[in-house]
Amino acid sequence: MKKCVVTGAGGFIGAYLTRALVAQGWKVAAVDNLARGEQRRLEPVLDQIDFWQTDVRDAKALEEAFSDAEVIFHLAAINGTENFYSRPELVLDVGLRGALAVVDACRATGVKNLVVASSAEVYQTPPMVPTPEEVPLMLPDSLNPRYSYGGSKIVSELIAFNYGLDFFNRVQVFRPHNVYGPDMGWKHVIPQFIERGVKLRAENQNQFTIQGDGSETRAFAYVEDVVDGIIRMYENGEHRQVYHIGNDHEVSIKEVVELLGNVLNYEFEVVPGEQALGATPRRCPDISKMRSLGYNPRYSLADGLAATADWYSANLQNKPDNPLL
């Protein structure tokens, strides 16, 4: 049985990936210090994996988990847009020192294959949309704490490709774009919209306030599609390559609110608000590189949003107190 390691396995994408890898017959070592991840996400497979409550910045501790692994899927990070502004030091510390520790632990244990999660945030406002992998990465303003996350991902890519330049047999980086789905945490636009919409409906109110004027766009990717893409990339992709994993269906934020209204069977009036400093007006990936590997997103935003709204509607009363979530 092939062994892999998933760092950040208690996180949103990490948990979905761990469960998918187990279903495909992998022996999985799941690494998470549970500062932001939640072990309950792994309950369906907890008796089938080796769980290591380990900080990704601790290279020596990682060596035990990495032993005999074929590949490391490094997803551990402090995500959540609110965290970029409020906890930039932690975002940078986990992003930078975590990437270094993972590479050091790979070299110490002889693990020759590494997959690293980057982010669409490395582009900030991209020079073209849809955006191919080849456009320059951007850090517009080092004074803005929002870029703690995008900056840490740029450095993580440099570490993955160059810090272990002569060691790895295969290094791949994927840049996920606006991944969403059930149980993704609470500091992202989709769950925040759902929570707001459910509350407005309960109060018989319809004014739905957003950041910006609603013309801003994103291309939202359902988590199960993204996990399929990560595994497909590892199996069929090439060494020292970057891949966009997401959906190329671009929608405006106003359209997202309208779709949410359809899901909740309630009509909202979009009220424009102040845009956050450094927010990107338009984002949509070019995924032709992944399509060449056989990747094809299956979930429409309407279907994925319905499944996500069902989960959050049922779990609003269980919203955790953890400020990082």
Residue 278 has pLDDT above 90, yes or no: no
Q: Six-digit token pair at 275? A: 């845009």
Q: Give the pLDDT confidence score for residue 321 in this predicted structure.
A: 81
- Percent of the chain residues past pLDDT 70, beyond the cut: 100
Residue 114 has pLDDT above 80, yes or no: yes
Q: Give the pLDDT confidence score for residue 320 in this predicted structure.
A: 85
Average pLDDT over residues 96-116: 98
For residues 103 and 161, the answer to whether their CB atoms sit within 8 Å is no
- Helices 253-264 and 189-202 cross at an angle (nearest 10°) of 50
What DSSP character marks residue 278? T
Q: Give the pLDDT confidence score for residue 277 in this predicted structure.
A: 74
Q: Give the pLDDT confidence score for residue 276 in this predicted structure.
A: 75
Q: Six-digit token pair at 174? A: 């994927």
Residue type at 283?
R
Q: Give the pLDDT confidence score for residue 323 in this predicted structure.
A: 73
Model pTM greater than 0.85? yes
How high does pLDDT run on average in the chain? 96
What is the rounded distance in angstroms from the CA atom of residue 219 to the CA atom of residue 131? Answer: 11
Average pLDDT over residues 174-194: 95
Domains of the chain: 3-179+220-245 (3.40.50.720), 181-219+249-278+300-316 (3.90.25.10)
Average pLDDT over residues 77-83: 88
Residue 325 has pLDDT above 80, yes or no: no
